[in-house]
């Protein structure tokens, strides 16, 4: 049985209920985070809480809890759910007013929800042979740096991948690569790692940071800059990264091979660094 937290109460997830007038339900008016947990330790919790604050500030919603309280509640959820490795999901919505009105209600209590799911890492064959991706225009709004629960565009874009037998959809806006439907995307050209810069067009991924830190620590040449669509398509390697997918090689884009059509040497190196980092630092709570 999964245990969740809802508005001050710990309860079985299956029994968690929110009112139909909640603005999260009516408008997707909320913020969320997904925090990977290794050996029962939340990975980079302060960084996730910092990104949560950035989202809440961006949508003008006061943080209902301080970091110490978030840390305590997340620890409680981890302790009460099965599995050494978990994926903690938290969401805050602007709450339920009696009326449906686009503008914010004057006084309303936010809804706070936390749950945990098993952390399922990708199947080994995705790492060994790579995954297929499809591309699409990035039709989302211009605040993709905010992790809001208004995810319909991302859902449609990810569904496009599923419908075409792919794992992810790579998004291009105005001739440049932004990110994936639910991941960040890196390219490799001539041994140099290329990363789109953090700005309002992409989510500042925690895994993105880890990959850039590992690249710097191991002196892998790296350029954080805009990546043109043509460059991405002609790259030697493409990778997707997220808290739940870790780092995966993309070997096919729109039915065409990326590089040799097999996971590249730089990916294999990064994967090894990442796994080592996971065993030594993430499992140690770093
Ligand atoms: N999504 N970009 C988008 C649009 C994302 O939805 C995600 C993650 C990322 C990667 O961020 P991170 O490395 O911090 O997981 C980038 C999560 C996993 C989700 O919505 O379930």
Question: Which atom of ligand 1 lies nearest, measured to the CA of 244?
Answer: 18
Distance from residue 205's CA to the centre of ligand 1 (Å): 6
Catalytic residue among 99, 147, 245, 278: 147
Distance from residue 3's CA to the centre of ligand 1 (Å): 23
Distance from residue 157's CA to the centre of ligand 1 (Å): 14
For ligand 1, pick from 156, 203, 213, 247 the residue to mutate: most ligand atoms within 8 Å of CB.
203
Q: Is 44 exposed, middle or buried (0-12, 13-18, 19+ CB in 10 A)?
A: buried
147 flagged as catalytic: yes
Say how far residue 48 (Cα) sits from the centre of its chain. 10
Question: Which atom of ligand 1 lies nearest, measured to the CA of 245?
Answer: 18
- The residue nearest atom 16 of ligand 1, judged by CA position, is 183
pLDDT digits (tens, 9 = 90+) for 155-175: 999 999 999 999 999 999 999
Binding-site residues, ligand 1, Cβ < 6 A: 34, 154, 179, 182-184, 203, 205-208, 241-244
Query: pLDDT band at residue 268, thresholds of 50, 70 and 90?
Result: very high
Spatial contact of 28 and 152, defined as CB atoms under 8 Å apart: yes
Distance from residue 242's CA to the centre of ligand 1 (Å): 5
Give pLDDT, residue 103. Answer: 97
The answer to whether residue 28 scores a pLDDT higher than 80 is yes
Q: What value does the CA radius of gyration of the chain take, rounded to a whole number of Å? A: 19
For ligand 1, pick from 243, 274, 282 the residue to mutate: most ligand atoms within 8 Å of CB.
243
Q: Mean pLDDT over residues 105-128, rounded?
A: 96
For 181-184, the CB contacts below 8 A with 24+ separation are: 181/154, 181/157, 182/154, 182/158, 182/242, 183/240, 183/241, 183/242, 183/245, 184/208, 184/240, 184/241, 184/242
For 223, the token pair is 């350029």
For ligand 1, pick from 205, 213, 282 the residue to mutate: most ligand atoms within 8 Å of CB.
205
pLDDT digits (tens, 9 = 90+) for 195-233: 999 999 999 999 999 999 999 999 999 999 999 999 999
CA angle 151-202-266, nearest 5°? Answer: 120
Query: pLDDT band at residue 138, thresholds of 50, 70 and 90?
Result: very high
The answer to whether residue 181 scores a pLDDT higher than 80 is yes
Give pLDDT, residue 284. Answer: 83
Give pLDDT, residue 286. Answer: 54
The answer to whether residue 86 scores a pLDDT higher than 80 is yes
- What domains can you pick out in the chain, each with its CATH number? 3-118 (3.30.470.10), 124-282 (3.20.10.10)
Query: pLDDT band at residue 285, thresholds of 50, 70 and 90?
Result: low
Question: Which atom of ligand 1 lies nearest, measured to the CA of 208?
Answer: 13
Alpha carbon distance 158, 112 (integer Å): 26
């Amino acid at each position: 049985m999964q245990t969740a937290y809802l508005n001050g109460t710990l309860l079985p997830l299956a029994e968690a209920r929110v009112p139909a007038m909640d603005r999260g339900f009516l408008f997707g008016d909320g913020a969320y985070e997904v925090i990977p947990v290794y050996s029962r330790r939340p990975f980079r919790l302060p960084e996730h809480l910092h990104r949560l604050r950035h989202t809440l500030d961006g949508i003008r919603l006061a943080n209902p809890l301080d970091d110490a309280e978030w840390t305590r509640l997340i620890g409680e959820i981890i302790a009460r759910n099965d599995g050494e490795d978990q994926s903690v999901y938290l969401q805050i919505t602007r709450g339920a007013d009696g009326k449906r009105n686009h503008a914010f209600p004057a006084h309303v209590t936010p809804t706070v929800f936390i749950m945990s799911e098993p952390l399922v890492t990708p199947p080994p064959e995705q790492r060994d042979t790579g995954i297929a991706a499809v591309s699409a225009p990035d039709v989302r709004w211009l605040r993709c740096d905010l992790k809001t629960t208004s995810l319909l565009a991302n859902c449609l874009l990810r569904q496009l991948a599923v419908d075409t037998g792919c794992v992810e959809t790579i998004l291009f806006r105005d001739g440049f690569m932004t990110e994936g439907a639910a991941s960040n995307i890196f390219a490799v050209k001539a041994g140099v790692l290329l990363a789109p810069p953090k700005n309002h067009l992409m989510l500042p991924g925690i895994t993105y940071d880890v990959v850039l830190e590992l690249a710097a620590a191991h002196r892998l040449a790296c350029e954080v800059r805009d990546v043109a669509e043509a460059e991405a398509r002609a790259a030697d390697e493409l990778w997707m990264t997220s808290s739940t997918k870790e780092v995966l090689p993309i070997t096919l884009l729109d039915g065409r091979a990326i590089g040799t059509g097999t996971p590249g040497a730089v990916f294999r190196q990064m994967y090894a660094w990442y796994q080592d980092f996971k065993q030594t630092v993430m499992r140690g709570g770093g």
